[in-house]
Structure 1
Amino acid sequence: MTDGGVPPVRGRRRRSVRWRFTSLYAGLFLASGVVMLAVVAAFAGGSLDVAPGPESSGTGPGSAWEGAPAAALERIAALEHQLTAAQDRQTRQLLLGSAVGLLVMGALSLLLGWYAAGRVLRPLSAMTTATRRISADNLHERLAVGGPHDELRDLGDTIDELLTRLEGSFAAQRRFVADASHELRTPLATMRAAVDVTLAKPGPLPDQTRVLAGRVRTELDQVDSLLDGLLTLARAQHELPDPEAVPLGRLAADALAAQRQPVERTLDDGAPEARVRGNRTLLRRLVENLVDNAVVHNEPGGWVLVRLRADTAAVELVVENGGKVLSTDQAAELTRPFRRGGPGRTGGTGSGLGLAIVAAVTEAHGGRLALHPREDGGLRVAVTLPRTPGPAGEGKTA
């Protein structure tokens, strides 16, 4: 669906505005040329007035040619016939030349119309290119359309004003998430300290108090994990600090080694020296979230497979796991915050930010994220990131 709610037309070739302008220019020129050719034909179709000959005036008494020799009269009639034929030939040549000239000018009008339309639409093409380049990460850029103050410049100024408002809205949202997360850490730390002090008091504690304190401590850890996820998400959407060449294979190996869940873990590292340029902390969080998500949302005694492939331009990290069967719509929803494999925002384990953080970090690094449900259950997540040259001596391809 398009933004206006109208489904796009499929199977129809897209006609550019430049082609429509060119067709309009050429059509108007040809129509005016046809009208001009009709006017020329109308005026050229009249006969040439000549002095009356003997055939028209006769040879009776009072005729101007009375008494003229017969040879002279025949000569005059022949000249009249030749003059009429010459006039007809001249008319046909004039019409033929005009038609050929009209065709030549029609072809030339297409070229001139194409050039003129391109000149007129050049600012619009520049605005389209700049608007496509601008995203949530570079809303500070502006179109800055120059030239005369016309309708196209008004459109560019309007888009710049919209970008200014969007930039302010995005910045306010990110500041709110970051500030709220920071401010909530202090009371959480205070509550955690109070629970620890209660549990550390000398003397026996009632079992109910100890169980309740353990539950509170677990929930506090869960909220702390949620705040940490929100901070990471806001950081990934705001900036990309301290970029460096990071080997994804090592991060994947560390993430798998850190897991203690009873699942079968396999690393198929087909590009051990492949590196991507980015922030090491964010990329480590991306890999850890993918592995944690694959382990947590798994079946008992399940399996996790991590594959790494690379070519000269990109590095692909694929994480697959077993588990319950998901639909395509459910898989598409998993990158939204607080989604845990179902339509609701509650229930399940984890903060619901794991794949949302993966999507934000991937976008911040100029990569692509693809989620595909497996037919026999589980999920296949593929992250493709631009490859960066590594140290000398590293393998070129997998």
Structure 2
Amino acid sequence: MLRGGTVGRRFTILYAAGFLGSGIVLLSLTYLMSGVRLSTRAPEDLPAHVPGGPSGLAAAEQQIRDLQSRLSDAHGQQEQRLLVASLIALAVTAGLSLLLGRALAVRVLRPLRLITAATRRISAENLHERLAVTGPADEVKELADTVDGLLERLEASFAAQRRFVGNASHELRTPLATIRASLDVAVAKPEPAAQTVALAGRLRTELDRVDHLLDGFLVLARAQHGAFTDRTLVSLGELTREALGHRATDFAAKALVLDTEVRPAAWTRGSAVLLSRMVQNVLDNAIVHNQESGWIRVTTDGDGSEARFVVETGGRVLDQGQVDRLGQPFERLGVARTGPEGSSGLGLSIVAAIAAAHGGRLALRARPEGGLRVTVTLPAAAPEGDAMRAGMVA
């Protein structure tokens, strides 16, 4: 029984058992010590000469027997009352033991609960926070200091990783620009060879892919760093309308049927540039990995606490276990999701990072009928008067 359940429950049982055991021992000693019986004298020990002769002796013996009987009855009643009182006291002691054991368990485990709650609040976006437990140098403070040390090492590791991605992406743009300029010079020569032109075209395509990949790395690093200086009130509905307008040609190229329900109530606060990129990535993912003559349903709405951006697509039935991994970098659903477009596999991971950096979340669900449902949920923000009227007019 002590091996199962929570630590608080085990502590409660242990404390209650200790208090109850002490009460049982105390009541048992009290009961045993109260059980000393009065000694009596047998009739044969009485004096040989009793005034009044044989009749007086018989009367005295009878009185003694009556007195012994009454004393025995009184002692039995006393023992019975003491036993009942002891059982009642034992029941009360059991109840008080549980209450006191629970109170002590809560008191003892309170610092651990505070440490657990504080640790849960710390994620990759706020690794700078520390538990900073104060008090005597006991086991609890030692545990808290150990967790703080671990968080400090994790923060340094995450920061180094983000700096590396950002610096590497910036540094790689210079040689890419040089290669692109060299290709332009080679093709610009009078009467360039056909092989040179074909090679330059293929190299430009690959350079575009690498440039797109580096751009994704930069956006991902910025989103994961979470330090925005351009936080402002943003309408997900307006961002969605702009992104849909820019992709009208892409919808027509695949003959996709578009169903939209864009509401102006989806307001949030954050980086307009990153949130716009988030919306674009979700739409691009829906277009690129959709089937010919398929459909896309786009919805934005919100309430007092959340703003939601939802994109659904049709297609084959997907495995939820594989879908759950799409929020990680370079994850794809097999060859069918790579395609000739050369997807880098960073699109949804960037969406997840941007949503998390804004205090939101990305949810990916495989539709039972086939296809994918992408839901981005962000904290809602109350629109200002001018922004509200502008959204309603749009």
Post-superposition CA distance 1:180-201 (Å, at most 9, x none): 1111111111111111222223
Query: What is the aligned partner in structure 2 of residue 237 from structure 1?
Result: 224
Contact 1:337–1:353 (CA under 8 A) maintained in structure 2: yes
| Structure 2 CA distance for aligned equivalents of residues 92 and 65 of structure 1 | 40
For residues 33-44 of structure 1, the aligned pairs below 5 Å read: 33-44=23-34
Residue type matched to 1:291 in 2?
A: L
The structure whose residues are more often helix, as a share, is 2
Counterpart of 1:31 (choices 12, 16, 21) is 21
Equivalent AA in structure 1 for residue 72 of structure 2 = T
1:296 to 288, 293, 304: 288
Aligned position for 1:283? 275
How far apart are the structure 1 equivalents of 2:52 and 2:16? 61
Q: How far does residue 66 in structure 1 lie from its aligned partner after superposition?
A: 7.8
Query: In the alignment, which residue of structure 1 is the partner of 2:111?
Result: 123
Deviations 1:341-370 (A, max 9, x none): 228997752221101101111111222222
> Matched residues in 1 for 2:176 and 2:121: separation?
41
Using the alignment, how far apart are the partners of 1:17 and 1:369 within structure 2? 34
Specify the alignment match of 1:160 in structure 2: 148
Q: Does 1:21 align with 2:11?
A: yes
The SS at the match of 2:29 is helix
Moved more, 27-36 or 290-299: 27-36
The Cα shift of 1:43 comes to 3.4
Letter in structure 2 aligned against 1:22? T
Partner residue, 1:353: 346
Identity of aligned residues (%): 50
1:376 is displaced (CA, Å) by 5.0
> Separation in 1 of the partners of 2:110 and 2:183?
67
What is the match of residue 390 of structure 1? 383
* CA drift at 1:338: 1.5
- In 1, are the aligned partners of 2:186 and 2:196 still within 8 Å (CA)? no
Size of the aligned set, in residue pairs, is 378
| SS of alignment partner, residue 321 of structure 2 | helix
One of 153, 174, 177 as aligned partner of 1:186: 174
Name the CA distance, whole Å, in 2 between partners of 1:87 and 1:65.
31
Whether the aligned pair in 2 keeps the contact of 1:298 and 1:324 (CA below 8 Å) is: no
User: What amino acid sits opposite 2:210 in the alignment?
Assistant: V
Shift of 1:276: 1.0
- Residues 318-333 of structure 1 correspond to what in structure 2 (within 5 A)? 318-333=310-325
Listed one character per residue, the Cα deviations across residues 21-73 of structure 1 (whole Å, up to 9, x for unaligned) are: 111111122223223333333333342113x25x45468xx366784465554
* Structure 2 counterparts to residues 64-213 of structure 1, below 5 A: 67=53, 68=56, 70-201=58-189, 203-213=190-200
**SS state at 2:380 partner:** strand
Q: 137-146 vs 343-352, which deviates more?
A: 343-352
Matched to 2:18, the amino acid is L
Which residue does the alignment assign to 1:224? 211
Q: Hey, what does 1:9 align to over in structure 2?
A: none
Distance 1:100-1:378 versus aligned 2 partners, 3 A rule: closer
Query: Taking structure 1 as reference, are residues 57 and 391 closer, same or farther at Cα in structure 2, changes over 3 Å only?
Result: same
Rounded to whole Å, the distance in 2 between the matches of 1:39 and 1:304 is 82
Check 1:257–1:347 CA distance in 2 against 1; reply closer, same or farther (3 A cut).
Answer: closer
> 1:82–1:383: structure 2 CA closer, same or farther, 3 Å change rule?
same
Q: Which residue of 363, 366, 372 maps to 2:365?
A: 372
8 Å contact kept, 1:255–1:288: yes
| Structure-1 separation of matches of 2:240 and 2:51 | 118
Q: Secondary structure at the match of 1:334?
A: helix
TM-aligned CA distance change 1:280 to 1:135, over 3 Å: same
The secondary structure found in structure 1 opposite 2:133 is: coil
Q: Provide the residue aligned with 1:11 in structure 2.
A: none
TM-score of the pair, normalised by structure 2: 0.88
The CA deviation at 1:265 is: 5.3
- CA positional deviation for 1:228: 0.5
- Determine which of 240, 244, 254 is the counterpart of 1:252: 240
Kindly provide the amino acid, as one letter, of the partner of residue 350 in structure 1. S
Q: TM-score, normalised by structure 1?
A: 0.87
2:118 touches 2:131 (CA, 8 Å); kept in 1? yes
Query: SS in structure 1 opposite 2:308?
Result: strand
- CA distance in 1: counterparts of 2:24 and 2:87, whole angstroms: 9
- Partner Cα separation in structure 2 for residue 344 and residue 171 of structure 1: 35
Compare 80-89 and 37-46 and name the one that shifted more.
37-46
Q: What SS does the aligned partner of 1:144 have?
A: coil
Counterpart check, 1:306 vs 2:293:
no
Contact 1:240 1:278 in 2 (8 A): no
Supply the RMSD in Å over aligned alpha carbons: 2.6
Gaps of 5+ in 1: 1-13
Distance of aligned partners of 1:336 and 1:41 in 2 relative to their CA distance in 1, 3 Å threshold: same
SS at match of 1:370: strand
* Contact 2:266–2:308, Cα closer than 8 Å, also in 1: no
Cα gap change, 1:75 to 1:377, in 2 (>3 Å) = closer
Q: Which amino acid in the other structure matches residue 369 of structure 1?
A: L
Identify the match of residue 315 of structure 1 among 300, 307, 312.
Answer: 307
